[in-house]
Amino acid sequence: MKPVIESVCEKYDLLPLKENGYQITKEFLLSVIEICVEFIKKSNDRSTKVLDFHQPDQLMQVFDFAIPDEPQNLDQLLVDCKDTLKYQVKTAHPHYFNQLSCGLDIVSLAGEWLTAAANTNMFTYEIAPVFILMEHFVLKKMREIIGFPNGDSILAPGGAISNLYAVIVARHAMFPEYKTKGLKALPQLVLFTSEHSHYSTKGAGATCGFGTDNVVEVPCDFNGRMIPDELERLVKQAIAKGHRPFFVNCTCGTTVLGAFDPINPLADICEKYNMWLHVDAAWGGGCLLSPKHKHKLAGIERARSVTWNPHKLMGSLLQCSTGLLIDCNQMCADYLFQQDKHYDVRFDTGDKVIQCGRHNDIFKLWLMWRSKGVSGYVKHIDHLFDMTQYMVKKIKEKSDQFYLIWEEPECVNVCFWYIPKRLRNVAHTREREEELGRITAKLKGRMMNAGTLMISYQPLGDKPNFFRNIISNPGVKEKDIDFMLAELDRLGHDL
Amino acid sequence: MKPVIESVCEKYDLLPLKENGYQITKEFLLSVIEICVEFIKKSNDRSTKVLDFHQPDQLMQVFDFAIPDEPQNLDQLLVDCKDTLKYQVKTAHPHYFNQLSCGLDIVSLAGEWLTAAANTNMFTYEIAPVFILMEHFVLKKMREIIGFPNGDSILAPGGAISNLYAVIVARHAMFPEYKTKGLKALPQLVLFTSEHSHYSTKGAGATCGFGTDNVVEVPCDFNGRMIPDELERLVKQAIAKGHRPFFVNCTCGTTVLGAFDPINPLADICEKYNMWLHVDAAWGGGCLLSPKHKHKLAGIERARSVTWNPHKLMGSLLQCSTGLLIDCNQMCADYLFQQDKHYDVRFDTGDKVIQCGRHNDIFKLWLMWRSKGVSGYVKHIDHLFDMTQYMVKKIKEKSDQFYLIWEEPECVNVCFWYIPKRLRNVAHTREREEELGRITAKLKGRMMNAGTLMISYQPLGDKPNFFRNIISNPGVKEKDIDFMLAELDRLGHDL
């Protein structure tokens, strides 16, 4: 029976100051690590389930979420840890294809563990010297890959906030008077983003006070890419209304289809109308690491800001999102930043972010990148695309069972309907599409209850619900794709 | 010699899929944990230094930050881990008094390690069932402590973003048309915050498009508390200009002095003029857990939103910040959130935050709170205040060596000048204050170079640089405070 940690002082003597306190501390921490390693082992064992699904009400009955009045002892905490992982989805499982971030890189995990032990704030060089310089070097490397010779960057808590930064910085660079006077002193500013883009640009439009009516959705072609002529038409329309178009969000890797907007033609329009070009490559940015796939982002060096999330295609742990910029958003905070410090304060990052406390998201990426080297990431990215090609090929071979909605995916997103027996050899009408949409939701329900597979689904435009499969776990092999397709048929053939 | 992980497929067989791959993986992870535990042990050993300071240029010479072309082997990665911690500041050291977040709770650390192994996104119940419900229960508990019978909440990446949420939600609740139309369709909205408040309210004013001129700084009394009559005067002034006052930020625990604005009189003014009352208790919120200290936040249940950071006084790992709200900011994102899911989607959080990817910040807090229980946190908070009282008492006893700027700290912030020998027994004039300000920066330089102690400093209003000491590490004991005061004198007596 391990001790209850009764009082603060006792606790901080036991854990970890006293002689035997150190032993107890170490044993406790190693027990937690054992539990984690066991979970990782199971996550990588193809014979285990991806999840053991419980409805919220059921889970509340079997799991004790309460904060107790009295302290729980260390044994109970270990039980809590085990139970937590028991009911958690195994996002590292090779049969988990549900999100843009799948898999668990072991080196990145080790990096995150060390990050937690270091427990510092990415605020000033003074309190995070190594990590601040690491961020400086890694972000410089990423800007070089993009083709930004100068510039500045920040790690933000997720791609939506990185996109928000881009909007803030663009406004600040182009209309600096907004900062003190507010938007009422400016003409009506207008942003443009494709109808398939991530909702965060619209979100930034609301947050920043432009209004979502002034975040104009530009139509896409059938493959989900923004149509440059449509952009120019809408820009002219805004100008005719007396508004000021100032920001174009170009998506490289849309959320659902994985489409890449054509950067060069959009950059031409931005130059012509003096608009800020932002590239949201949160999803597709990883392609820049592969000579074979970087052409999808041709022209990215013409952007003035880029969002690129290493926690997606690059497989770093969540979360790790970069905003790679030419300019910075600075708020004056001289009570926090002394210019009379005894070191070079240009490395302090606290005054260029809208956060104050900021989590250390760099070490897990830096260590992972060291472990792979530049060459390892080429193989990593190419492997994901090779597996995607394999999946597309297999689906095309089974065209009675699967309807591939977009035949040539640009990214690792594969969008399809599963066709149960009764709908095979039936003409593909609007009614059939709607029925396949209903089947998609039902099949997902069966999948969750069986726990053997996870693939996400959604509607898009006039297409009713369809599956969007993601291969971003480099542990996925051909046999996993074979399993996925067979399992969908096993679970759904009679629907 | 451990292996280089050459290719993706090899890597994902070695780590951790193959028979011996699992062994290598486990050994590697346990080696990293050994390095972390050794660091924690040293951080808690009072005979070690707090930091081994290097100027940025020096550190770049001794540390290899580069991303190499070829993969590094596991041995090299372990060297990287060791070196990283070698140059990192020990924020858990009992002689580290530098930031609002000090110390390292072992249980919270274990929680963060498990969080990393689970590597999920706090987005939908589907992919994070246990953690989403945990967040639901813990935030409900925190709202109950505040006295909000209903409401909703979110964990945000830091207090600045939590405060930004408060501004966004207030605007959304009071002027919903801004969302589509933008701010140009509204009267000029005005926010109020005290001159001692955190810069994030001004930051939110810029970000949201109000303009910093419309974030009015309200004067404070000598103790750093907002003066209610001054607030009312400035509100009337804004109304006279045709503006619309709508938001008052009331700080409970200012960054430098640790002052608590008087909530009840401010709430009266907010009611009278129909303004949203936000309480920024990022720092002082922890006092609510102690029957002895919660009176400092009397009236908090009258707020409409509260920021409260468990990573500060409550000692959870960075970062953990809550925004406790009455209403929510929802963006439509139906391609991400299906209403035809086979479970109750009211627990999905993704559509109420401005983030899309969101780190799991709940488990480290939940596990820590379980380990302490409600009763343990009473002791935790009271201990921090007891140590602060001890420090104030000791400083008053040594009034020749220390000048206590605010004699009765409301929080655990203690602000003072150190007085070197040559300035003792000298009249306290403006010149002496300026000289003590210069000495503060010099003494900090000596402190960093000695590496034995860390205390932060800043100017405030007409006060030149002074030390602001924080006791938020519950491992701090009287002997650590004795050490601190003696060490300041040892390092600075001849300045």
ipTM of the complex: 0.94
Give the list of residues 6+ apart from residue B199 with CB closer than 8 angstroms, or none: A331, A332, A333, A335, A336, A356
Kindly report the CATH number assigned to the domain that includes residue B64. 1.20.1340
| CB atoms near residue B34 (< 10 Å) | 15
Estimate the crossing angle of helix B363-397 against helix B478-492, to 10 degrees. Answer: 60
Determine the distance in angstroms separating the CA of B317 from the nearest CA of chain A, rounded to an integer. Answer: 6
pLDDT > 50? residue A225: yes
Amino acid at the residue B349: T
pLDDT band at A149 (very low <50, low <70, confident <90, very high): confident
How far is the CA of A291 from the CAs of A74, A83, B7, in angstroms?
51, 44, 16
The reply to whether omega before B94 is within 30° of 0 (cis) is no
B67 touches chain A (CB under 8 A): yes
In a domain, B114, yes or no: no
Q: Contacts of residue A444 in chain B, CB cutoff 8 Å?
A: 341-342
pLDDT at residue B345 in the model: 65
| Alpha carbon distance A25, A77 (integer Å) | 13
**Cα–Cα distances in angstroms (integers) from residue B107 to residues A2, A74, A390, B121, B376, in the given order:** 14, 9, 45, 22, 13
* Run of H or E including A278: strand A276-280
Position A102 in a domain: no
Give the strands of the sheet with A413-418, arranged side by side.
A96-97, A454-460, A463-470, A413-418, A402-404
Q: Is residue B29 part of a domain?
A: yes
Residue A402, beta-bridge partner list = A418
Chain-chain contact of A110 with B358 (C-beta, under 8 angstroms): no
With the C-alpha atoms ordered A422, A423, A427, A430, is the resulting torsion angle positive or negative? positive
Point out the residue among B26, B184, B379 whose CB comes nearest to the CB of A184. Answer: B184
Looking at residue A343, what is its pLDDT?
67
Specify whether the CB–CB gap between B300 and B146 falls below 8 A: yes
Interface touch A379/B128, C-beta < 8 Å = no
Average pLDDT over residues A14-37: 80
Question: From CA A412, how far away is CA A120, in angstroms rounded?
Answer: 35
Whether residue A107 is contained in a domain is answered as: no
Q: Which residues pair with B431 in a beta bridge?
A: none
Is A95 domain-assigned?
no
Q: Contact A26/B37, CB-based, under 8 Å?
A: yes
For residue A103, pLDDT beyond 90: yes
Report CA B402 to chain centroid distance, whole Å.
28
Asked which of A3-12, A258-267, A407-416, B229-238 is least confident by mean pLDDT, the reply is A3-12
Interface touch B376/A8, C-beta < 8 Å: yes
A464: three-class secondary structure by DSSP: strand
Q: What are phi and psi of A335, to 5 degrees?
A: -75, -15
Are A337 and A374 contained in the same domain?
Answer: no
Same domain, B56 and B178: no
pTM of structure: 0.94
A356 CB neighbours in chain B (<8 A) are 158-160, 198-200
* Listed ranges A351-365, A386-400, B142-156; the one with the highest mean pLDDT: A386-400
- Let me know if residue B96 belongs to a domain: no
Q: List the end-to-end C-alpha distance of chain B, in Å, as a whole number.
A: 52
Q: pLDDT at position B357, please?
A: 76
Same domain, A253 and A171: yes
- For residue B441, the chain A residues in CB contact (below 8 A) are 338, 340-342
pLDDT of A346: 65
Give the mean pLDDT of A294-309: 96
Q: What distance separates the 2 farthest-apart alpha carbons in chain B?
A: 77
Sorting pLDDT into bands at 50, 70 and 90, what band is A62? very high
With a CB cutoff of 8 Å and minimum separation 6, the contacts of B303 are: B146, B250, B263, B267, B277, B278, B279
What integer pLDDT is reported at residue B349 of this predicted model? 64
Task: State residue B123's pLDDT score.
Answer: 82
Closest by CA to B493, choosing from B446, B430, B429, is B446
Q: What is the mean pLDDT of residues A51-57?
A: 94
Are residue B373 and residue B355 in the same domain, yes or no? no
C-alpha distance from B224 to closest chain A C-alpha (Å): 14
Q: Is the peptide bond before A319 cis (omega within 30 degrees of 0)?
A: yes
Q: Do B5 and A210 touch (CB under 8 A)?
A: no
CB contact under 8 A, A91 and B118: yes
Mean pLDDT of A208-228: 96
Summarised one tens digit per residue, pLDDT across range B430-465 is 999 999 999 999 999 999 999 999 999 999 999 999
Q: Assess B128–A contact: CB distance below 8 Å, yes or no.
A: yes
How many residues would you count in chain B?
A: 495
Q: Is residue B248 within 8 Å of B277, Cβ to Cβ? A: yes
Q: CA-nearest residue of chain A to B335?
A: A458
Question: CB–CB of B110 and A32 under 8 A?
Answer: yes
* Set of chain A residues whose Cβ sits within 8 Å of the Cβ of B213: 180-182
Name every residue whose Cβ is closer than 8 Å to that of residue A144 and which is 6 or more positions away in sequence.
none
Q: CB contact, 8 Å: B198 with chain A?
A: yes
Share of residues in chain A with pLDDT > 90 (%) = 79
Instruction: Judge: B182–A127 Cβ closer than 8 Å, yes or no.
Output: no
Domain co-membership, B212 together with B347: yes
Give the pLDDT mean for A75-92: 96
pLDDT given for residue A102 in this prediction: 94
Q: What is the mean pLDDT of chain B?
A: 91
Closest CB from B213, B331, B372 relative to A202: B331
Read off the pLDDT of each residue in A233-256 and give the average, rounded to a whole number.
Answer: 98
Give the one of A63, A80, A317 whose C-beta lies nearest to B116's C-beta.
A317
- Helix A106-118 / helix A363-397 crossing angle, nearest 10 deg: 150
Number of helices and strands in chain A (H, E): 14, 12
Chain B CB contacts of A333 below 8 Å: 199
Question: What local confidence, expressed as pLDDT, does residue A351 receive?
Answer: 60
The Cα A57–Cα A336 span in angstroms is 46
Question: Distance between CA atoms of B206 and B224, rounded to whole angstroms?
Answer: 24
Alpha-carbon distance of A224 to A284, in angstroms, equals 14
Task: Write out chain A residues lying below 8 Å of B194, CB-based.
Answer: none
Across the interface, whether the CB atoms of B16 and A367 are under 8 A apart is answered no
* Residue B425 C-alpha, separation from nearest chain A C-alpha, in angstroms: 27
Tell me which residues of chain B, numbers 351 to 370, contact chain A at a CB-CB cutoff of 8 Å: 354-360, 363, 366-367, 369-370
Q: What pLDDT is attached to residue A330?
A: 43
What is residue B486's three-state secondary structure? helix
End-of-domain residue from the set A304, A326, A359: A359
* Number of domains observed in the structure of chain A: 3
DSSP B284: G
Distance CA A301, CA A324 (A): 11
Cβ of B321 under 8 Å from any chain A Cβ?
A: yes
pLDDT of residue A254: 97
Q: Is residue B130 within 8 angstroms of chain A, CB to CB? A: yes
Asked if residue B384 and residue B317 are part of one domain, the reply reads no
Q: Where are the beta strands (DSSP E) in B252-376?
A: 276-280, 305-308, 321-325
CB within 8 Å of chain B, chain A residues 394-433: none
Residue type, A476: V
B52 in A contact zone (CB under 8 Å): no
Phi, psi for residue A437 in degrees, rounded to 5: -60, -45
- As a whole number, mean pLDDT of residues A3-9 equals 44
How far apart CA B94 and CA B475 sit, in angstroms, is 6
pLDDT(A336) > 80 = no
Interface probe for B, chosen from A108, A163, A184 (most Cβ of B below 10 Å), is A184
Please answer yes or no on whether A129 and B347 come within 8 Å at the CB atom.
no
Chain B contacts of A6, Cβ < 8 Å? 376
Residue A147 has pLDDT above 50, yes or no: yes
What's the distance, CA A443 to chain centroid? 26
Of residues A71, A179, A373, nearest to B371 (C-beta): A71
pLDDT of residue B262: 98
Using CA atoms in the order B345, B349, B353, B358, what is the torsion angle rounded to 10 degrees?
Answer: -140
| Subunit contact B371:A184, Cβ cutoff 8 A | no
Q: Which pLDDT does position A5 carry in this prediction?
A: 47
Measured distance CA(B225)–CA(B230) in Å, rounded: 11
Which amino acid is present at A66? A
- What distance in Å separates residue B422's CA from the closest CA in chain A? 23
Q: Find chain A residues with C-beta within 8 A of B119's C-beta.
A: 91-92, 101, 104, 109, 317-318
* CATH number of the domain residue B180 falls in: 3.40.640.10
Asked, for residue B102, whether it belongs to a domain, the answer is no
Does A331 contact chain B (CB < 8 Å)?
Answer: yes
User: Per the CB < 8 Å rule, is A85 touching B114?
Assistant: yes
Is A111 inside any structural domain? no
Cα–Cα distance for residue pair B322/B454, rounded to 1 Å: 28
In chain A, the largest separation of any two C-alpha atoms, in whole Å, equals 77
Question: Which ranges of chain B have pLDDT less than 70?
Answer: 1-20, 326-353
Q: Are B311 and B320 in contact (CB under 8 A)?
A: yes
What SS3 state is found at A184?
Answer: helix
Which residues 224-243 of A have a C-beta within 8 angstroms of B?
Answer: none
- Which of B44, B67, B90 lies at the terminal end of a domain, its last residue? B90
> Does one domain contain both B485 and B430?
yes
Q: Do residues A128 and A210 both lie within one domain?
A: yes
Answer yes or no: do B183 and A184 touch at CB < 8 A. Answer: yes
Using a CB-CB cut-off of 8 Å, the residues of chain A touching B20 are none
Edge to edge, the sheet with strand A276-280 lists: A152-156, A321-325, A305-308, A276-280, A244-251, A189-194, A215-218
Please, are residues B277 and B307 in contact by the beta-carbon 8 Å criterion? no
Strands A463-470 and B152-156: unpaired
- From the list B163, B302, B189, the residue with the least C-alpha distance to B244 is B189
Please count the CA atoms within 13 angstroms of the CA of B170 that sit on its side-chain side: 31
The answer to whether residue A63 neighbours chain B at the CB level (below 8 Å) is yes
First-residue to last-residue Cα distance in chain A: 52
- Chain B residues closer than 8 Å to A454 by CB: 127
| Amino acid (1-letter code) at residue A160 | A
Which residue in the block uniquely carries the two structure tokens 């794709």?
Answer: A481
- pLDDT digit string, tens, across residues B280-335: 999 999 999 999 999 999 999 999 999 999 999 999 999 899 888 765 444 333 44
B65 contacts A137? CB cut-off 8 A: yes
| Domain boundaries, position A404 | 369-492
Taking the C-alpha atoms of residue A406 and residue A402, their distance in angstroms, rounded to an integer, is: 12
The residues pairing with A192 across neighbouring beta strands, listed in sequence order, are A216, A248
Cα separation of A32 and B365, whole Å?
16
pLDDT tens sequence across A29-47:
999 999 999 999 999 899 9
CB contact under 8 A, B8 and A133: no
State how far the Cα of B237 lies from the Cα of B390, in Å rounded to an integer: 44
- How distant is the Cα of B365 from the closest Cα of chain A, in angstroms? 10
Cross-chain residue pair B373–A68, CB shorter than 8 Å: yes
Out of A334, A359, A384, pick the residue that ends a domain.
A359
Amino acid in position B382: D
Minimal C-alpha gap between B273 and chain A (Å): 22
Cα–Cα dist A19/A4, whole Å = 17
- For A222-255, b where at least 16 C-beta lie within 10 A, e where not — what string? ebbbbbbebbbebbeebeeeebbbbbbbbbbbbb
pLDDT of residue A357: 76
The enclosing domain of B474 has a CATH number of 3.90.1150.170
Q: pLDDT tens-digit profile of A457-486?
A: 999 999 999 999 999 999 999 999 999 999
- Cβ pair A101:B85 closer than 8 A: no
B44 and B73 assigned to the same domain: yes
Q: Which residue of A has its CA nearest to B384?
A: A8
Long-range CB pairs of B43-48, under 8 A, 24+ apart, other chains included: B43/B90, B43/B91, B43/B92, B43/B93, B43/B104, B44/A16, B44/A17, B44/B92, B44/B93, B44/B94, B44/B475, B46/B93, B46/B94, B46/B95, B46/B480, B46/B483, B48/B90, B48/B93
User: For residues B387 and B477, what is the distance between their CA atoms, to the nearest angstrom?
Assistant: 7
Residues B411 and B485 grouped into a single domain: yes
Q: Both B36 and B127 in a single domain? A: no
Residue B276 touches chain A, beta carbons under 8 Å: no
Considering the domain architecture, whether residues B218 and B324 belong to the same structural domain is answered as yes
A interface test, pick of B8, B74, B378 with most A CB neighbours within 10 Å: B8
Rounded CA gap, A41 and B18, in Å? 10
